[in-house]
Homo-oligomer: A and B are copies of this chain.
């Protein structure tokens, strides 16, 4: 069995490996034309599944709340549903989105731009549950365990991630059991998952079985894996919140194979969405053929954590063109025009570029 470390990043022009092809078949991308919807329809939301989708029995499902707590809890799904429910639209993105556009290409799930989605999540806040369990003041982190088990980097593991007490007890951190008003689909964490709005998706542990209060920072495999490193041997910086990103609906009609676009000359509406986990989006700009960045019109916000719509017009002249868009948030973060490489290919929020052929009307 091949359980060795991932191969190093691959040189420019290197082949996409059979393993990468296998991963990208399981891990579904969003369809960019779905940016027309405020809330992503079922089945169009991105998916990143580390191991297998567990065979979950809702009636038998329990979440243990244990570790450094005064009163350990065992919560059934009925217990969760009996607690106060919150519904909110949240945009989620994989930390590896954009990885396949890096050169050299870090080898893992080879995302292009579409590891995104926005759902209306319903669940119950975690903080009151932790309060009820009585988390010890010595606790520094909560560890969240999923039911999906497998091997990564040679380490057999349940999927596990942690959060500091401060982050875990934010009002908007939920134990979520519905997506778009329906029970979670198996592949999205049925019957219950953690939801941490604003953070990249790896934090929102699916198929949640356990929440454990611990006195030391958790050093499990997935904590080490999700770090931004420019050298493989450096400690690196943890991946946390989503960096700003704007995406557009590619205009016109596609070529089946190349996905390049064909539009008629004239005035076209360009539409898209933008989000950031750090602060609200304050601007989206569009550039044609590498020219100046011109502001698009922003739609009304839909809560703090859902993407915001944007639109502008493009006067399309016959010929070959390249459209680009970029978002800026209220914390002053904006998207780079060029790819910023790191060892595992995280947080690559370089601007989207769409090639379009414009023909005479």
Contacts and interface: CB of A to CB of B under 8 A. Distances in A.
Interface in A93-121: 100, 107-108, 110-112, 114
B152 A256 contact: yes
A186 B55 contact: no
The CB with the most chain B CB atoms within 10 A, among A22, A34, A156, is that of A22
A186 B108 contact: no
A153 to B, nearest CB: 8
Contact of A254 (B55, B114, B151): B151
A170 interface: no
Contacts of A44: 43, 185-187
Interface in A184-218: 185-188
A128 B33 CA distance: 35
Interface stretch (A1-9, A77-85, A277-285): A1-9
Interface residues of A, number: 65
Contacts of A26: 29, 31, 259
B320 A1 contact: yes
Interface string A172-193: 0000000000000111100000
A254 B150 contact: yes
Interface in A39-56: 41-45, 47, 49-53, 55
A151 B256 contact: yes
Contacts of A150: 253-256
Contacts of A22: 112, 258-259
Contacts of A3: 255, 258, 260
